[in-house]
Chain A
Amino acid sequence: MGKSITPYSHVVDQVEAAFSDFRRALTRADQARCDTLFNYARRHTPGGVLQSDPDPFRTVLLGMLIELMRRLDEEQR
């Protein structure tokens, strides 16, 4: 109701789709890493929604980085 903008999960889908050529060139192993990174971004839907950046790739990227940071922190523990 009253939804005139795309939900953030679809925004991530769109960014992912926009990079499908990039992904195609990756090796199988790197393709899996690429998919994981986009799933990392999806975990940050609340932030993406609240920020509503006109260039969504920036929030997608930040979401990926935060999850990577988390992995690093966990490794070090």
Chain B
Amino acid sequence: MRRPTSPKANRRRHPQETVPLETMPQETMPQETMPQETVLRAPRRHGEGLLFDTAYLEPEIHLWIRTADGGLLHLSTPFHPRCYLTGPREVAGRAARRLADEAIAVPLGWTRRIEFWSGRPIPALALRVARPGALVERVRRLLRAERRLAAYDVDLDPALVFHSRHGLFPLARVAFSWDPDGSGGGSGDNSGGNSTGGRLVFIRALDTPWDPGFVLPPLRVLTLRLTRSPLIPLEGSGPLNSVRAESAGEACEIDPAGPAPGLAALAALIERHDPDWIDSERGDQTIFPWLLEAVQRTGIELPLDRAAPPVRRKITRRTQAIVVYGQVMFKASAYPLLGRWHLDRANSFFIDKAGIEGLVELARMSRLPIQRQARASGGTAMTAMEIHLALEKGMLVPFIKDQVEAFRPASELLRADKGGLSYFPPAGIWEGVIELDFAQQYPTIMAVHNVSPETMDCACCVGKNPVPGVAHHTCSRRRGLVPEALSGLLSKRLKYKRLLKTCPPGDRSRYDARQSAIKWTLVTTFGYQGFKSAKFGHIAAHEAITAWGRETLLIAKEVFEDAGYRMLHALTDSLYVLKPGFDPAEVARLADEVRSRTGLTLGVEGVYDWICFLPSKVRRELSVATRYFGRFADGTLKLRGLKVRQHGTPPFIRAFQEALLAIMGACRNRAELEAAAPRLRSAYEEAREALWRGRVAPAELAIAARVSREVERYKANGPVPVCLRILAARGIRIPPGQKVRYLIVNRAHPDPLERYLPEPFLDEARGYDAVAYQAMLLDAFKEVTVNLERPRHVWDGPQQQRLL
């Protein structure tokens, strides 16, 4: 295993030294009794292994450790997280007595903890939480009744707190001791034949999550899939779906009409192969609820959990529609397993974006259990990292966000909240354009300028570190929590980027997945600052970040314009400039100058042989900022906002536009593009002919659209409501946030129900609406050829002949 990390990086995050369970180093209170008070019946044992899974089942934390011989050891220990109350002594004392009376938490005594906003220690009443599940609601009621009370560390994930307290993280290499005979949870259920069970006495990590050389251990996988379209239900009166399981070449299928034999086969498969990971698609939403109900009905035991105490699962199909950036997204309820991972590809942002390698990377950084991180967002990962840092510093983690924006005059509000800068490029074809991008602009700004909620507008640095153009400043005396967490991520991503350049080809995909998972996390950190329920977010921080973003982009523009470059386009963190016969060395020198003036790395994304900026479809005199495409000098194409990149576009239209772009991509300059115009035209004629002759399969013409509400709440006769009605009549419901795919059968049909045909019934189609699809085909054609057919540039630039 390579260890390319510098020793410095490893020293920064050395695994915590020996911390006995149930104690915290920051506190001065008398130490609690450790759990080894039980009479030992067998000698204590010690071991090393990989921390495979962590789960908190009140009142115990359960760990599953993979030992060197490949076995899985299940250990448990009672775990009581801490929470804190602050306020006048009698007020906090009264609240603590309430919690004690209800056996939710036991007061331990007054201590001093660091307050998040001021960074100063304040007196806080510590409590030992017996029932974390009941705590949140109870504390919320107490806070509502008593304004002088504040509560901290209340709603933290117990598994995260346990990890943080002992320096642990998923798949950490750990050294541990345990008492085999202790009453360690449920050691009885022994599905894999490799659990001894026992009580954990001591554990510590032997490596750090910052080591990029980490290698994922081999995992035994069982895949669980629906055999037909996921829209076809597993129960009901119509045609039914079924479930197929596969592991190491062996497979079985569960038929919903008579599930017993299939379930028995699946149970046998799990027993025999003992998978580490159940890799499902739609497991959370569809397969698991149905599977568990079938288990109840048939009485067949399915050993889903591994070496774990028996748990009762609430079966729910409840789905949640959440709004992300104005779009209704879909979130299924979760079915995590114990001692075995269940990861649903359809319910996991990070598996989708960066695969298992990326997910594991992120879970190690966030210290959240794998199955929890799989279903969480980048924002959750960031918050978890910030919570870990806060706990490490003995800082109180705020429960209810009690900060408010300070009053500002309306004119100041106008100046502050402006977002990123976005120009309108002159539409047309341009040759020799250089694209320059700020690498990770917003996260770097937060790290460089110490932008964090608690460092914004501090009392100690008034007049220093002003944010350009807005009335904010940042603290120069203490490092913010957010920048500290970000710096770690940024530097680790940099390590992977460097490794990508030097590693053997076999390791490339692994490092690439990991750096991409970090990238996706970084991307979400900024948006989180303005999010009203972010634990460590603040609207002033959000404004400061965009203000620095505008400032850095303007500096870059000025540096290049001063050197005689013409700025064609700029968009938040990227700049498009032009200078005939430019010198690459000069560009590198100017980029360096921008870095020294802004602290941000400005990299050359590439030089375009040609780039097409597109005119607006609504106002032909204007161009659009976010739709363009071009060919880099190395022959690769860069596409932004085109039909091929949009999710709803039918495969046929997408393939057609890809074919056009392939033709254009082979052209090295404007003259060749112009010469290619007849070939583009004939590609269009060919596609149109195929369409009219009925040679296109319905599935190739399916349009995808997102459902934004329940079927009853749609009023109009648009394609989505019509499809939902057709599906509902056939017993299929699609919850908001999910997509529906449909074929346009005849848009002009008087009966709306005859106009469209949704999946999974596309094969019933006897025809399609060629008129409607030809219009889409023409749109896709014009989108990429518009600059070849227009007589001249929209604003300025040389005259062009009409080509098409």
Contacts and interface: CB of A to CB of B under 8 A. Distances in A.
Interface in B514-547: 527, 529-531, 539, 542-543
A27 interface: no
A45 B423 CA distance: 7
A5 B414 CA distance: 7
A49 B325 CA distance: 21
A5 B353 CA distance: 33
Interface string A52-77: 10100000000000000010001000
Interface in A28-42: 36, 39, 42
B403 interface: no
B218 to A, nearest CB: 42
Interface in B424-457: 424
Interface of A: 1-5, 7, 36, 39, 42-43, 45-46, 49-50, 52, 54, 70, 74
Contact of B418 (A43, A49, A70): A49
10 contacts: A1-B542, A2-B539, A5-B417, A7-B419, A39-B619, A39-B621, A39-B622, A42-B619, A43-B622, A49-B418
Given A54-B411, A74-B796, A3 B419 contact: yes
Contact of A42 (B421, B469, B531, B622): B622
A76 to B, nearest CB: 13
Interface in B613-640: 619, 621-622
Nearest to A7: B419
Contacts of A1: 325, 527, 530-531, 542
A1 B530 CA distance: 6
A4 B531 contact: no
B375 interface: no
A50 B796 contact: no
B421 A52 contact: no
9 A-B pairs with least C-beta separation = A2-B530, A1-B530, A52-B414, A39-B621, A2-B542, A49-B418, A46-B421, A52-B415, A1-B527
Given A1-B530, A3-B419, A49-B419, A43 B550 contact: no
Given A39-B619, A43-B622, A45-B422, A3 B550 contact: no
A46 B423 contact: yes
Contacts of B411: 54
B792 to A, nearest CB: 12
Contacts of B803: none
A7 to B, nearest CB: 8
A52 to B, nearest CB: 5
B588 interface: no
Nearest to B539: A2
Given A39-B622, A42-B619, A42-B622, A54 B414 contact: yes
A50 B414 contact: no
B418 A52 contact: yes
Contacts of A36: 621
Interface string B308-328: 000000000000000001000
Given A1-B325, A2-B539, A5-B414, A50 B421 contact: yes
Nearest to A36: B621
A50 to B, nearest CB: 7
A3 B621 contact: no
A41 to B, nearest CB: 11
Contacts of A54: 411, 414
Interface in B233-280: none
Contacts of A52: 414-415, 418
Nearest to B420: A49
Contacts of B415: 52
Contacts of A70: 795-796
Contact of B413 (A5, A7, A49): A5
Nearest to B414: A52
B422 A46 contact: yes
B323 to A, nearest CB: 11
B424 A50 contact: no
A50 B469 CA distance: 8
Contacts of A45: 422-424
A54 B412 CA distance: 10
B419 A43 contact: no
A5 B408 CA distance: 14
Nearest to A52: B414
Contacts of B543: 2
Contacts of A49: 418-419, 421
A36 B794 CA distance: 12
A2 B795 CA distance: 34
A74 B619 CA distance: 22
Interface string B387-423: 0000000000000000000000001011101110111
A3 B417 contact: yes
Contacts of B542: 1-2
A69 B415 CA distance: 28
Contacts of B529: 2
B416 to A, nearest CB: 8
A76 B418 CA distance: 37
A39 B417 CA distance: 24
B230 to A, nearest CB: 31
A51 B462 CA distance: 24
Of A5, A7, A36, A42, which is in contact with the most chain B CB atoms at under 10 Å from its CB?
A: A5
Contact of A43 (B417, B424, B570): B424
